[in-house]
Structure 1
Amino acid sequence: MPITVTLDQLLADRGMTGKQLAETIDLSETQLSLFRSGKVKGIRFSTLERMCEVLACQPGDLLGFEPGAA
């Protein structure tokens, strides 16, 4: 898939774990893990908004695009 999830790098940059983020934004660790691995087909804007607020980032900082990737 040409869309990549770059959340792991943001978490590392912020010194935060996935578990801490999940607890802070009131999301299950399983759902966050699925997002991190790129196995979800969509994400609610409200969830994306909470991630951006906590990580002090823009939505584009959480996702990347690699043309030609299958």
Structure 2
Amino acid sequence: MAIRVNIDVMLAKRKMSVTELSERVGITMANLSILKNEKAKAIRFSTLEGICKALDCQPGDILEYTNEKE
């Protein structure tokens, strides 16, 4: 996938658990796991906003484009 999801990096920087993030955002652990493991096909802006608010970061801190040919 050309879009990398760096939720783990931000969780480590903020010293926050996946459980705490899931509670703050109001997303199930299963859906958060799908995002973390880059299995998601899409993300709602409201979910992205909630994650950014909870982690005090920007969308670019969580989502990263990589060229698959590299």
- Corresponding position of 1:16: 16
Pairs within 5 Å for 1:52-63: 52-63=52-63
Task: Give the counterpart letter for 1:5 in structure 2.
Answer: V
Task: Give the counterpart letter for 1:4 in structure 2.
Answer: R
- Corresponding position of 1:28: 28
Q: Which structure 1 segments of 5+ residues have no match? A: none
- 1:3 & 1:25 partners in 2: Cα distance? 21
SS of 2:4's partner is: strand
TM-score w.r.t. length of structure 2: 0.93
- 1:65 & 1:17 partners in 2: Cα distance? 25
Cα RMSD (Å): 0.9
Q: Which structure 2 segments of 5+ residues have no match? A: none
- 2:66 & 2:30 partners in 1: Cα distance? 25
Q: Figure out how many residues of one structure are paired with residues of the other and give that number.
A: 69
Task: Give the counterpart letter for 2:9 in structure 1.
Answer: Q
- Corresponding position of 2:67: 67
